[in-house]
Amino acid sequence: MARIKRAAAKVLMFAIVTGISGTIFGCTPVEREPESPAPAEPQAKQEQNGENTKVGEQPDQAPQEVDAAGTYSPVKARDRDFYAPNTEDLGPNEMRLIACGTGMPTARPKQAASCWLLELGNGEKFIFDIGTGSAERVAALQIPYNYLDKVFLSHLHTDHFGDLDALFVGGALAGRQKPLRVWGPSAETPERGTKYALDHLRKALTWDLDGRQGLTDPRGYHLDVTEFDYMGMNAVIYQENGVTIRSFPAIHSLDGPVSFVVEWNGFKFVFGGDTYPNKWYAKYAKGADLAIHECFIAVPDMIDKFKFTPQSALAVGTQIHTAPEAFGKVMSIIKPRMAVAYHFFKDFDTTASINDRIRTTYDGPLSLSIDYMVWNITKDEIRVRMAIVDEDVWPPPATEKPQLPDQSKRIPYSPEISGGKLDMKKVLQPVYDEINKQYGTHETQE
């Protein structure tokens, strides 16, 4: 609880320092159109926590109670200006995007590398990139891992898939009872493609996975890899449950990187991955509700902060990646409801430069992203907040009953290693007695 309070204080201080009013610094709120009259509320009510609550309304999201004098009720909840995971319903006509990694190739405590969780009102959830350090952000959201089984990789730099092993193995341990499904692009040669990379990742985990056989539910320790043509032009690569995901090429480092478009229920979400500004993004991202595109740190800060040479800073910051000025130009072409910039370290002495450089070429709605930033998207508005998470989070409950492991599949120690055990049977027998009594099992020591 103390850590949550400290996090809340940080958000409050951030709001005060930057002079915001319901908006995070670096984010321009979407102008709301005049609201149409609300439909009549249903008459049915249900009792929750001793309060009368309209059907579909959560007690902690009750409307603000203000008396005739303008005084807030001392007992009714007020609207939150932050997002608390696992406390808010997602409407059937709503999308929620959570930034689980927004930083640069060198992950740091404040910002993991690229990772974005998209949640849809029909229950579907998609992870776009799973860069270094991002798995712990995903864990903090307290979502059952059976719902986090779909990952889309924009390309194979480690800052975009470096935590795939953590999500794969850790997710299975924490309750994912199905294979982890991964979509990723091919490349100019087979050994640069997603299938090759993940086949070898699986081989690299041989010792890890073999050591878990016969000990835990085995169903989650499988990768289901779909490699698609990186040259596909707005090509459909996924179509299930009313959701269509398309890909088109990106320009970054080598042939192979891609960008994604998600279409659902009249919404359009675009994730650009890493790319030099390109004509395909300019074409296929037009009219997006939310458009993510990389926006690298400004060249002078690359020289000052990263100690790049001027030559390297110009090459990396403007040719391999997208400079802030170029990001703004792209967004001025596609005109999204909300533009989202990422792939820079968002510090007190770098953010203003990025914002000012973007504003030389773009004056529309803008979010300069940071880890745990949250966007709720409906047809009427896009709400931008920060999430406050519990650092002491434990895995959420599994959505299915765990499957007992087949102990016959355990790989035994060698006689030499097994012979090194100390005799702990007397010490451990009370533990077995306790568990067998409590759960009606009949387990014995080895």
Residues 208-246: pLDDT tens digits? Answer: 999 999 999 999 999 999 999 999 999 999 999 999 999
CA-wise closest residue to 127 among 296, 339, 295, 271: 271
Can you read off the two tokens belonging to residue 51?
A: 């309060």
Q: Are strands 150-152 and 180-185 parallel, antiparallel or unpaired?
A: parallel
∠ CA 7-8-13, rounded to 5°:
100
CA 310 to chain centre: 34
Q: What is the mean pLDDT of the chain?
A: 87
* 404 vs 214: CA distance, rounded Å: 9
Q: What is the pLDDT of residue 64?
A: 56
* 245 vs 243: CA distance, rounded Å: 7
Q: What is the pLDDT of residue 26?
A: 43
Q: What is the pLDDT of residue 75?
A: 85
Q: What are phi and psi of 16, to 5 degrees?
A: -65, -45
Cβ neighbors of 330 (< 8 A, separation 6 or more) are 277, 281, 282, 293, 322
Hey, what domains does the chain have and what are their CATH numbers?
A: 82-386 (3.60.15.10)
CA-wise closest residue to 182 among 119, 243, 130, 124: 130
Cβ neighbors of 348 (< 8 A, separation 6 or more) are none
Q: With 60 as the cut, is the pLDDT of residue 163 above it? A: yes
Q: What is the pLDDT of residue 85?
A: 95
Q: What is the pLDDT of residue 65?
A: 65
Q: With 60 as the cut, is the pLDDT of residue 149 above it? A: yes
pTM over 0.75: yes
